[in-house]
Chains A and B, each alone.
Chain A
Amino acid sequence: MLAADALPPRFSDWFAARGWAPRAHQLAMVEKGRQGRDALLIAPTGGGKTLAGFLPSLIELSERPPRNTPAGVHTLYVSPLKALAVDIERNLATPIREMGLKVVAESRTGDTGEARKARQRLRPPDILLTTPEQLALFCAWEGAREYFADLSCVIVDEAHAMWLNKRGDLLALGLARLQLFSPKMRRVGLSATVDDPDLVRRWLGHHDKGPPPVGEAMRSVGGGSPPSPQTPPSVDLRSTPPPQGEVLISTDHTVDLVLGSGGAQPIVEVLVSGGKVPWAGHTAEHAMAEVYEIIKASKTALVFVNTRFQAEFAFQELWKLNDDGLAIALHHGSLAAEQRRKVEAAMARGEIRAVVCTSTLDMGIDWGDVDLVIQLAAPKGASRMVQRIGRANHRLDEPSRAILVPASRFEMLECRAAADAILGGHLDGEPARTGALDVLAQHVMGLACSEPFALTDLYDEIRAAGPYADLAWEDFETVVDFVSTGGYALKSYDKFRRIVPGQDGLWRARNAQTVLRHRMNVGTIVTAAMVNVRVGGGKRPMGGRKVGEAEEGFFESMKPGDTFIFAGQVWRFNSLVGTDAFVSPAPDKDPMMPSWGGSKFPLSTYLASRVRAMMHDETEWAALPADVQEWLGYQKLRSIMPTEDELLLETFPHGKRFHLVFYSFEGRLAHTTLAMLLTRRLDRLGIGPLGFVANDYAVNIWSLKSMEDLDLDALFAQDMLGDDLEAWLNESFLMKRAFKACALISGLIERRHPGEEKSGRQVTFSTDLIYDVLRRHQPDHLLLRCARADAATGSLDVARLGDMLARVQGKIRHAALDRVSPFAVPIMLEIGRERAPGDAAGEMILAEAEEDLIAEAMS
Chain B
Amino acid sequence: MSSLSFKISDCGGLKIEVFGTRATLRHSGALWLEGARAMVVADLHFEKGSSYAARFGQMLPPYDTRETLDRLERELAALNPATLIFLGDSFHDGAGEDRLPADDRARIAALALGRDLVWAVGNHDADGPRALPGAVVDEAAIGGLAFRHEPLPGAQPGEVAGHLHPAARVTSGRASVRRRCFVTDGTRLVLPAFGAFTGGLNILDAAFAPLFGTPPLAAALGRGRVHAVGWKSLRPD
Interface majority SS (helix, strand, loop, mixed), chain B: loop
Chain B residues lying within 8 Å of A496, measured Cβ to Cβ, are: 50, 53-54, 57, 59
- A-contacting residues, B166-225, CB 8 Å: 171, 173-176, 196-201, 205-207
Contact with B along A737-765 (1 / 0, CB 8 A): 00000000000111001000000010111
**Distance of A557 Cα from B174 Cα, bound (Å):** 5
B60 CB–A CB distance under 8 Å = yes
Indicate the member of B53, B59, B66 with the most A CB atoms within 10 Å.
Answer: B59
Please tell me which one of the listed residues B57, B61, B174 contacts residue A778 in the complex, with CB atoms under 8 A apart: B61
**Distance of A765 Cα from B60 Cα, bound (Å):** 12
| Known A770-B61, A835-B174; contact A753-B201, beta-carbon cutoff 8 A | no
- B-contacting residues, A758-798, CB 8 Å: 761, 763-766, 769-770, 772-774, 776-778, 781
Find out whether the CB atom of B197 lies under 8 angstroms from the CB atom of A765. Answer: yes
**Distance of A777 Cα from B62 Cα, bound (Å):** 9
**Distance of A575 Cα from B204 Cα, bound (Å):** 14
- B-contacting residues, A246-296, CB 8 Å: none
B64 CB–A CB distance under 8 Å = yes
Which residue of chain B is the closest to A777 with respect to CB atoms? B63
Please tell me which one of the listed residues B53, B57, B174, B205 contacts residue A761 in the complex, with CB atoms under 8 A apart: B205
**Distance of A753 Cα from B57 Cα, bound (Å):** 12
* B-contacting 9-mer, from A324-332, A484-492, A675-683: A484-492
Chain B residues lying within 8 Å of A498, measured Cβ to Cβ, are: 57, 59
| Known A492-B101, A763-B200, A765-B199; contact A773-B63, beta-carbon cutoff 8 A | yes
The smallest beta-carbon distance between B28 and chain A, in angstroms, is 15
Interface majority SS (helix, strand, loop, mixed), chain A: loop
**Distance of A766 Cα from B200 Cα, bound (Å):** 9
* B-contacting 9-mer, from A105-113, A213-221, A509-517: A509-517
- B-contacting residues, A482-536, CB 8 Å: 482, 485-488, 490, 492-493, 496-498, 510, 513-514, 517
Contact with A along B43-72 (1 / 0, CB 8 A): 000000010011011111111101100000
The smallest beta-carbon distance between B178 and chain A, in angstroms, is 9
**Distance of A517 Cα from B59 Cα, bound (Å):** 13
A807 CB–B CB distance under 8 Å = no
Q: How large is the interface on B (under 10, 10 to 19, 20 to 34, 35 or more residues)?
A: 20 to 34
Find out whether the CB atom of A753 lies under 8 angstroms from the CB atom of B101. Answer: no
Find out whether the CB atom of B197 lies under 8 angstroms from the CB atom of A493. Answer: no
Chain A residues lying within 8 Å of B61, measured Cβ to Cβ, are: 486, 488, 770, 773-774, 777-778, 781
A-B contact count (CB 8 A): 97
The smallest beta-carbon distance between A375 and chain B, in angstroms, is 30
Find out whether the CB atom of A774 lies under 8 angstroms from the CB atom of B63. Answer: yes
Find out whether the CB atom of A486 lies under 8 angstroms from the CB atom of B53. Answer: yes
A576 CB–B CB distance under 8 Å = yes
| Known A513-B57, A514-B57, A556-B176; contact A488-B196, beta-carbon cutoff 8 A | no
Q: How many residues of A contact B (CB 8 A)?
A: 39
Find out whether the CB atom of B56 lies under 8 angstroms from the CB atom of A753. Answer: yes
Chain A residues lying within 8 Å of B235, measured Cβ to Cβ, are: 559
The smallest beta-carbon distance between A485 and chain B, in angstroms, is 6
**Distance of A774 Cα from B66 Cα, bound (Å):** 11
- B-contacting residues, A175-198, CB 8 Å: none
**Distance of A575 Cα from B235 Cα, bound (Å):** 11
B26 CB–A CB distance under 8 Å = no
Find out whether the CB atom of B199 lies under 8 angstroms from the CB atom of A764. Answer: yes
Indicate the member of B61, B99, B200, B205 with the most A CB atoms within 10 Å.
Answer: B61
Chain A residues lying within 8 Å of B173, measured Cβ to Cβ, are: 557, 835
Find out whether the CB atom of B67 lies under 8 angstroms from the CB atom of A576. Answer: no
Please tell me which one of the listed residues A490, A559, A761, A781 contacts residue B171 in the complex, with CB atoms under 8 A apart: A559
Contact with A along B70-106 (1 / 0, CB 8 A): 0000000000000000000000000000010100000
Which residue of chain A is the closest to B235 with respect to CB atoms? A559
Which residue of chain A is the closest to B61 with respect to CB atoms? A774
Which residue of chain A is the closest to B174 with respect to CB atoms? A557
B127 CB–A CB distance under 8 Å = no
**Distance of A190 Cα from B206 Cα, bound (Å):** 56
Chain B residues lying within 8 Å of A559, measured Cβ to Cβ, are: 171, 235
Please tell me which one of the listed residues B56, B62, B175 contacts residue A486 in the complex, with CB atoms under 8 A apart: B62
Which residue of chain B is the closest to A490 with respect to CB atoms? B62
**Distance of A287 Cα from B41 Cα, bound (Å):** 63
Chain B residues lying within 8 Å of A575, measured Cβ to Cβ, are: 236
| Known A763-B200, A773-B196; contact A557-B60, beta-carbon cutoff 8 A | no
**Distance of A408 Cα from B101 Cα, bound (Å):** 62
Find out whether the CB atom of A776 lies under 8 angstroms from the CB atom of B67. Answer: yes
Which residue of chain A is the closest to B165 with respect to CB atoms? A763
Find out whether the CB atom of A777 lies under 8 angstroms from the CB atom of B66. Answer: yes
Find out whether the CB atom of B56 lies under 8 angstroms from the CB atom of A773. Answer: no
Contact with B along A528-557 (1 / 0, CB 8 A): 000000000000000000000000000011
Chain A residues lying within 8 Å of B236, measured Cβ to Cβ, are: 575-576
**Distance of A764 Cα from B205 Cα, bound (Å):** 13
Chain B residues lying within 8 Å of A485, measured Cβ to Cβ, are: 59
Find out whether the CB atom of A770 lies under 8 angstroms from the CB atom of B59. Answer: no
Chain A residues lying within 8 Å of B34, measured Cβ to Cβ, are: none
Contact with B along A547-576 (1 / 0, CB 8 A): 000000000110100000000000000011
Please tell me which one of the listed residues B62, B176, B197, B201 contacts residue A492 in the complex, with CB atoms under 8 A apart: B62
Find out whether the CB atom of B101 lies under 8 angstroms from the CB atom of A770. Answer: no
| Known A517-B57, A761-B207; contact A769-B63, beta-carbon cutoff 8 A | no
Chain A residues lying within 8 Å of B67, measured Cβ to Cβ, are: 773, 776-777
Find out whether the CB atom of A748 lies under 8 angstroms from the CB atom of B58. Answer: yes
**Distance of A557 Cα from B171 Cα, bound (Å):** 7
Chain B residues lying within 8 Å of A497, measured Cβ to Cβ, are: 57
Find out whether the CB atom of A764 lies under 8 angstroms from the CB atom of B200. Answer: yes
**Distance of A763 Cα from B175 Cα, bound (Å):** 22
| Known A493-B62, A761-B207, A763-B165; contact A517-B56, beta-carbon cutoff 8 A | yes
The smallest beta-carbon distance between B57 and chain A, in angstroms, is 5
**Distance of A486 Cα from B63 Cα, bound (Å):** 12
Find out whether the CB atom of B174 lies under 8 angstroms from the CB atom of A493. Answer: no
Find out whether the CB atom of B50 lies under 8 angstroms from the CB atom of A493. Answer: yes
- A-contacting residues, B14-47, CB 8 Å: none
The smallest beta-carbon distance between A626 and chain B, in angstroms, is 40
**Distance of A150 Cα from B113 Cα, bound (Å):** 70
Chain A residues lying within 8 Å of B59, measured Cβ to Cβ, are: 482, 485-488, 493, 496, 498, 748
Chain B residues lying within 8 Å of A777, measured Cβ to Cβ, are: 61, 63, 66-67
Chain A residues lying within 8 Å of B206, measured Cβ to Cβ, are: 761
Find out whether the CB atom of B57 lies under 8 angstroms from the CB atom of A763. Answer: no
**Distance of A765 Cα from B195 Cα, bound (Å):** 12
| Known A490-B101, A778-B63; contact A766-B199, beta-carbon cutoff 8 A | yes
List the 7 closest A-B pairs by CB distance, nearest first: A486-B59, A777-B63, A496-B53, A765-B199, A557-B174, A763-B199, A764-B199
6 pairs, CB–CB < 8 Å, chain A vs chain B: A492-B101, A496-B53, A496-B59, A763-B165, A770-B197, A773-B196
17 additional A-B pairs beyond A496-B53, A753-B56, A773-B197, beta carbons within 8 Å, are: A482-B59, A486-B61, A488-B62, A490-B62, A492-B62, A497-B57, A514-B57, A557-B174, A557-B175, A748-B59, A763-B201, A766-B199, A769-B197, A770-B60, A772-B196, A777-B61, A835-B174
